[in-house]
């Protein structure tokens, strides 16, 4: 029983694929869905935990920066409180007070306020040189902290400093501290509400003891209004922003708010309430830029544990909503049974088809390769003995081989008929072209024997006979070249630039008696397989045509260049060019497009030679310009790389 190739492949595919596709489809579908659900649950939990951890870590970072600053203030206050001169100054020794002023001024550097008060809470010495005597034991948070220090208990924390104190303290530039720390509050509509009373500060108060009892206290404070150093430090560590609030108003901030303002804006009421009650508050917003921003609001407490403001830390990360939405979208896509089944079946079918194709290739490829070799022989014009192949597979390949053998025989017959027709055309053309020069020679020969012919006339007749003889020789050469144009060229690897350079030297000798300037441009750096003698004939034919087109002189340019895997020879002249009506038949045998002399075989021979080299020749001419012939030849591939010899 003889089965066709289609039947064989169909049976193998059906037997192998149907059960496998069904089994793998259902099993893989369920496994993928279960695995995807588990991964999504894990990723959802991971993203939420990671976001919460990042927010808490950033909030802890801001808290740690504030705590470290408080510790620095506490150390500075303790250092001053331990000085004997501070004991004497607190006890009323004015000389000691003056000495202490100098010491405090030297220690002032990065601290806004460094002040000594006596037992009654009056200012004795200020590091900034402000006036003494101000009483700080007022019913405020600062006053209560000072009272505890004068009772022997140190304290530190965030605190609101009253405006009266700030007016007495000065900056290093000598201005009142209020000038540099005043914050203007704005309402939600951007209108000015007024200056925020007092200032937010970090303070440390340490008692000055003598004889086992407190005789005074040292106050060290950093005002946080318009603070930038601490916020910049937070931004350097976390790459995020932060703000500090006194009551419900931001007094230091680098978090952009509406209308572009930062300091002076008020915290939302729904945030302020929990914070003033001593609770942390977390606010999250998924922005349109694909980022989620979270703001953590933590209470700022004074030495007595009372809430005086808030520390606001911002955290930005990839949008949780966007990530969760994408995950859910992916799940919905994969949960579609049709889509999953299609993807799975495509993969399974592709693998099985590749496997079966490999098995079937051994029985199919061999006869197809034999058939391909015969096709290539005919394509090269080798008709003798071509097409005689014997394939006994009993299927369509055998039928194809038999049809190809019959076709090859028909092509041989057609080629023979074409050759005979061409011989007839050639004979007609030869007889026509040879008749004119032979007639001239027959006419001049008797005149040479006539005694009445003068020597000058004889010389003229001899020159005419010589020219006509050369015409006959040229026509016979063209006919011989065209008749053997189908021979396989003897190709050898050649550097195209060197070949063209050598050929140009020969052409220059032929052009030396003309007014034509020969220009050679070498730039291909390619190696090609060519028959030097045959390809030289191509360039010589093109040069001859160019010389005939430029009887008054001109420029002939031969250029080489490289385009991908092709090496090009471009021959350009400055003559009148080829007429538009002649371009389609330009490379046909015996077509002269208006030439007075010649067989019309020159360009046909050029095309035969270039085609035999596996290349192509074409006319690329623009209107109003000279002829431009482009010869393209395949470059030689050596060692897996296209050859590019060094210039």
What domains can you pick out in the chain, each with its CATH number?
Answer: 65-320 (3.30.450.20), 340-483 (no CATH), 488-642 (3.30.565.10)
Question: What span, in angstroms and rounded, lies between the C-alpha atoms of 345 and 21?
Answer: 6
Other Cβ atoms less than 10 A from the Cβ of 77: the count is 28
Q: How far is CA 230 from CA 63, 152, 241, 269, 280, in A?
A: 11, 31, 11, 26, 21
DSSP 352-407: HHHHHHHHHHHHHHHHHHHHHHHHHHHHTT--TTTT------SSHHHHHHHHHHHH
Among 237-246, 462-471, 473-482, 504-513, which stretch is predicted with the lowest mean pLDDT? 473-482
pTM of the predicted model as reported, rounded to 2 decimal places = 0.48
Site of tokens 């291909």? 524
Average pLDDT over residues 622-628: 82
Q: What are 379's two structure tokens?
A: 């394509």
Given a cut of 60, whether residue 642 has pLDDT beyond it is no
3-state secondary structure of 531: coil
CA dihedral 258, 263, 268, 271 (to 10 degrees): 130
- Decide if 567 contacts 444 (C-beta within 8 A): no
Q: Where are the alpha helices (DSSP H) in 519-636?
A: 532-549, 602-612
Given a cut of 60, whether residue 643 has pLDDT beyond it is no
3-state secondary structure of 328: helix
pLDDT band at 264 (very low <50, low <70, confident <90, very high): confident
Report which of residues 475 and 462 the model is more confident about.
462
Average pLDDT over residues 290-316: 86
Rounded to 5, what percent of the chain is helix, strand, coil? 50, 20, 30
pLDDT of residue 15: 60
Residues 6+ apart with CB under 8 A from 349: 17, 21
Given a cut of 80, whether residue 148 has pLDDT beyond it is yes
Average pLDDT over residues 73-94: 85
Reported residue count of the chain is 647
Report which of residues 251 and 42 the model is more confident about.
251
Other Cβ atoms less than 10 A from the Cβ of 427: the count is 10
Among 276-280, 349-353, 413-417, 431-435, which stretch is predicted with the lowest mean pLDDT? 431-435
pLDDT of residue 626: 87
pLDDT of residue 20: 64
Alpha-carbon dihedral sign for residues 319, 321, 327, 329? negative
Instruction: Kindly provide the b/e burial profile for residues 455-492, where b requires at least 16 CB atoms within 10 angstroms of the residue's own CB.
Output: eeeeeebeeebeebeebeeebeebbebbeebeeebebe
Per-residue pLDDT of 361-383, as tens digits, reads 556 666 767 767 777 666 666 65
Q: What are 28's two structure tokens?
A: 């893989």
Per-residue pLDDT of 180-223, as tens digits, reads 788 888 887 778 888 888 889 999 999 998 878 888 999 988 89
- Decide if 522 contacts 505 (C-beta within 8 A): no
Among 97-106, 132-141, 267-276, which stretch is predicted with the lowest mean pLDDT? 97-106
């Amino acid at each position: 029983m003889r089965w066709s190739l289609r039947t064989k492949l169909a049976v193998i595919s059906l037997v192998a694929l149907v059960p496998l596709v069904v089994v793998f489809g259902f099993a893989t579908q369920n496994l993928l869905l279960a695995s995807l659900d588990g991964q999504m649950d894990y990723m959802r939990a991971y993203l939420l935990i990671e976001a919460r951890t990042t927010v808490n870590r950033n909030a802890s970072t801001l808290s740690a920066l504030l705590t470290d600053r408080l510790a620095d203030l506490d150390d500075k206050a303790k250092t001053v409180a331990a000085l004997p001169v501070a004991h004497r100054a607190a006890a009323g020794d004015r000389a000691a007070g003056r000495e202490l002023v100098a010491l405090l001024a030297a220690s002032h550097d990065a601290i806004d306020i460094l002040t000594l008060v006596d037992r009654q809470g009056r200012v004795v010495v200020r590091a900034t040189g402000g006036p003494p005597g101000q009483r700080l034991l007022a019913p405020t948070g600062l006053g209560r902290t000072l009272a505890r220090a004068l009772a022997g208990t140190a304290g530190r924390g965030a605190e609101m400093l009253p405006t009266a104190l700030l007016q007495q303290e000065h900056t290093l530039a000598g201005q009142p501290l209020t000038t540099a720390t005043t914050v203007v509050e704005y309402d939600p509509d951007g209108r000015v509400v007024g200056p925020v009373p007092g200032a937010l500060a970090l303070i440390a108060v340490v008692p000055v003891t003598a004889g086992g009892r407190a005789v005074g206290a040292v106050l060290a404070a950093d005002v946080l209004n318009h603070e930038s150093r601490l916020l910049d430090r937070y931004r350097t560590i976390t790459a995020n922003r932060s703000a500090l609030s006194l009551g419900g108003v931001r007094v230091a901030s680098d978090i952009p708010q509406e209308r572009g303002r930062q300091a002076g804006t008020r915290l939302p009421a729904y945030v302020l309430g929990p914070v003033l009650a001593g609770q942390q508050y977390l606010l999250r917003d998924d922005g349109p830029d694909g980022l989620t921003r979270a703001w953590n609001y933590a209470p700022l407490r004074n030495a007595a544990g009372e809430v005086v403001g808030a520390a606001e830390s911002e955290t930005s990360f990839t949008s949780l909503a966007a990530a969760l939405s994408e995950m859910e979208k992916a799940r919905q896509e994969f949960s579609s049974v049709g889509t999953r089944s299609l993807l799975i079946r495509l993969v399974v079918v592709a693998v099985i088809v590749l496997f079966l194709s490999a098995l079937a290739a051994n029985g199919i490829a061999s006869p197809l390769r034999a058939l391909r070799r015969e096709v290539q022989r005919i394509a090269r014009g080798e008709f003798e003995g071509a097409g005689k192949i014997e394939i006994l597979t009993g299927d369509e390949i055998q039928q194809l081989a038999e049809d190809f053998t019959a076709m090859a025989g028909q092509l041989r017959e057609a080629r023979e008929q074409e050759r005979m027709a061409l011989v007839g055309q050639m004979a007609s053309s030869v007889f026509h072209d040879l008749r004119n020069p032979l007639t001239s020679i027959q006419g001049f020969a008797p005149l040479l024997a006539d005694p009445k012919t003068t020597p000058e006339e004889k010389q003229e007749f001899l020159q005419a006979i010589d020219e006509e003889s050369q015409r006959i020789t040229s026509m016979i050469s063209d006919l011989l070249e065209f008749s053997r144009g189908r021979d396989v060229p003897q190709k050898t690897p050649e550097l195209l630039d060197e070949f063209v350079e050598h050929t140009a030297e020969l052409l220059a000798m032929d052009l030396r008696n003309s007014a034509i300037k020969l220009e050679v441009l070498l730039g291909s750096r390619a190696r090609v397989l060519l028959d030097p003698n045959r390809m030289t004939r191509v360039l010589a034919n093109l040069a001859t045509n160019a010389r005939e087109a430029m009887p008054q002189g001109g420029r002939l340019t031969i250029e080489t260049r490289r385009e991908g895997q092709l090496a090009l020879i471009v021959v350009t002249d400055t003559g009148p060019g080829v007429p538009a009506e002649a371009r389609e038949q330009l490379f046909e045998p015996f077509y002269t497009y208006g030439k007075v002399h010649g067989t019309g075989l020159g360009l046909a021979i050029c095309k035969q030679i270039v085609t035999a080299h596996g290349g192509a020749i074409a006319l690329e001419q623009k209107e109003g310009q000279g002829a431009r012939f482009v010869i393209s030849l395949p470059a030689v591939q050596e060692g897996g790389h296209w050859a590019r010899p060094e210039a």
